[in-house]
Structure 1
Amino acid sequence: MGDLTGDIAQVAGDATEPVHTLALACALAEAGGGLELALEHPWSLYTPQDAAVVASALHATLTSTVNNLRALAAAVRVLGTRGDIDLTGPTELSVDEEAPGMAVDRLETVADDVEQHLAAVLPAIAVLQAAPGAYRPAARVHDNLLALVGELGDGARLHTPEDKHDQGGPEDPCGCHIRIQDGSELYYLDLPDMGWSLLRDTDGTDQPDGSKTWHTSGDLHVREPLAHPGHLAEAVMHAIKNDF
């Protein structure tokens, strides 16, 4: 998560020119739109606590928006002090002959209105944080594979190599994979370095040592090693149904 926010923090720390101000404003707008899209996905949240984190972040965003509206109003007034804008006279695009100074006042009025409702978000965050959830994340990848077999049903079997079974850290691959029989097709679900991957047996190439290699795989678009087994199962069946 730090990779997503690090660049923004660096730009904010070095912000001394309009190009920085506009870049941060655009990043804010883009992030807000991206969150909306993310929340539309049915697996965007696993627990009530996930929802509490998002609500807390939105509360912080609204607080920042209030402060940013006021800071913007102050910055425009600095433009007026420098003589780069006439805050008292109307412009060709002014609505109802409204002067730019009145528009700045509107920004501050909106900030005041939003601020009045900020406190109402806090109880909602507390309720979501305390709400019991049915889902309990697996402690290790191997445990997640076992849970996933249960979600996939009778056609799924966990395969553990005879020569090695190293579970490593909680999110490290354990060396196991799931074999899924769907009609006449056999699939292998594995966790390589880049996220969960689905392989079709008939797409593999037999090697002299008895192993198989694949040049293509089905990307489930799920990266987290300890992703919800229901999420993984749904992604697997969707990939199989749609032929990857």
Structure 2
Amino acid sequence: MLTNQAAAAGLDNDTSWTALYEEEADVHGDYVTEVRNAVEYGLNDPRDSAEMACVAAEVADASVKALLSEWSLYNPAGRCDRRLRAPGPASQQRRRPDRACARGRPDRRAREAELPAPAGPGQPANLADALATLQKVANTVNGLVDRHASTTVRALHAAPSTAVLPDNAHETVVAAATLLAKQCDQKVTLNRRHPDETYEDDGSGFGCGCDVTIAAGAEEFNFHRGDSEWVLTRESDGREEPGGVTAFSTWATLSSTLKTAHPQQLVDDILGVVAADRT
């Protein structure tokens, strides 16, 4: 049950906030699929428990690292990425201590062995003490999630997008060229290979054929969409081949691979590469 006092678009009191990220996991499924396959296959022995616990710890750490990026909340496809950021880690924090405690509850463990009594003063902590500590942590985390997660998710879900963002690779190239022309102190040229309105995404990892050249002193850089990545080549690294084609064996791969990457993120990368080359 959602506990917010105010309504938000797309959510009501019958909507589980955890369902938002669970539905999105069906779309962003590369990592999720591996875990779901393991669950479907069966998690039945201590090794499975240990492996899943290690996965949970790695994911928690990776989530924090991912959120440290200034572009981590960029929502290129207009979907629920912004609301996904809150329930995912919140739910993870809620479930991990809960389930750890569940493994050690007396009614479960009684089938294997009797739990010892809590250690007395001056005695080493034992399993009962460890489970009591886990339960205390679980109660603290659960209380925070119950009070804040739903409200946070509602606010993120209802927040309108104010940025005009690209819908495809061609629009990304054009937008990046516009920003480069304003922010780069060198000559920037957008090389159009087709009219804007004629581009149709063919579903491949490549772009539309348009590119951007940056004349930086005696060097020239070229920004374009490569094979499922954004790349920046340096003209002096090119090798002339028969037919007038220039081939490159080295190039700079930019930080985002999305066709609809935020243009400013790409421009920051480009300017960084150009500046490093000139020093």
Q: Scaled by the length of structure 1, what TM-score is found?
A: 0.85
Partner of 1:168: 201
Q: Per the alignment, do residues 107 and 77 of structure 1 end up closer, same or farther by CA in structure 2, a change over 3 Å counting?
A: farther
Tell me if the contact between 1:156 and 1:178 (Cα under 8 Å) persists in the aligned partners.
yes
Contact 2:103 2:109 in 1 (8 A): no
Structure 2 CA distance, aligned partners of 1:189 and 1:8?
37
**DSSP 3-state at the match of 1:180:** strand
Residue 218 of structure 2 aligns with which residue? 184
- Amino acid of the residue matched to residue 205 of structure 1? R
Residue aligning to 1:115: 142
**For residues 81-92 of structure 1, what are the structure 2 equivalents within 5 Å?**
81-83=111-113, 86-88=115-117, 90=119
**5+ long unaligned stretches in structure 2:** 1-27
2:252 aligns with one of 192, 195, 218? 218
Deviation at 1:192, TM superposition (A): 1.5
In structure 2, the CA distance between the partners of 1:95 and 1:127, relative to structure 1 (3 Å rule), is: farther
Q: Give the conservation status (yes or no) of the 8 Å contact 2:100–2:134.
A: yes
2:166 and 2:172 in contact (8 A); partners too: yes
Q: In structure 1, what is the Cα distance between the partners aligned to 2:221 and 2:84?
A: 36
Going from structure 1 to structure 2, the CA distance change for 1:113 and 1:107 (only over 3 Å counts) comes to: same
Cα distance in 1 between the residues matched to 2:163 and 2:123 = 56
8 A Cα contact 1:167 1:173, kept in partner: no
Shift of 1:112: 2.4
SS in structure 1 opposite 2:277?
Answer: coil
Instruction: Decide whether aligned partners of structure 1 residues 102 and 208 sit closer, same or farther in structure 2, where only a CA change above 3 A counts.
Output: closer
Bigger helix share: 1
Cα shift at 1:97: 4.6
RMSD: 2.8
Q: Which amino acid aligns with 2:234?
A: R
Query: Does the C-alpha gap of structure 1 residues 78 and 157 become closer, same or farther in structure 2, counting only changes over 3 Å?
Result: same
Contact 1:166 1:175 in 2 (8 A): no
Name the SS of the counterpart of 2:189 in structure 1.
Answer: strand
Give a deviation string over 1:177-205, Cα, whole Å, max 9, x none. 11111222111111111301111111111
3-state SS, counterpart of residue 104 of structure 1: helix
How far apart, CA to CA, are the structure 2 residues paired with 1:230 and 1:139? Answer: 15
**Which residue number in structure 2 is paired with residue 28 of structure 1?**
56
DSSP 3-state at the match of 1:222: coil
If asked which structure has higher relative contact order (CA below 8 Å, sep 6+), I would say 2
Q: Secondary structure of 2:85's partner?
A: helix
Partner of residue 180 from structure 2, selected from 130, 152, 165: 152
Does the 8 A contact of 2:97 with 2:134 survive in 1? no
- Given the two structures, how large is their TM-score scaled by the length of structure 2? 0.75
% identity of equivalent residues: 21
Name the aligned partner's letter for residue 192 of structure 1.
Answer: G
Match of 1:62? 93
Contact 2:206 2:227 in 1 (8 A): no
- Deviation of residue 41 (structure 1)? 1.7
- More moved, 198-207 vs 50-59: 50-59
Which residue does the alignment assign to 2:5? Answer: none
1-structure distance, mates of 2:118, 2:66 = 44
Q: Secondary structure at the match of 1:173?
A: coil
Distance 2:122 2:177 in 1: 63
**Higher alpha-carbon deviation: 15-24 or 95-104:** 95-104
- 1:41 aligns with 69
Between 1:231-240 and 1:64-73, the stretch displaced more is 64-73
Q: Any conservation in 2 of the 1:190–1:197 contact (CA below 8 Å)?
A: yes
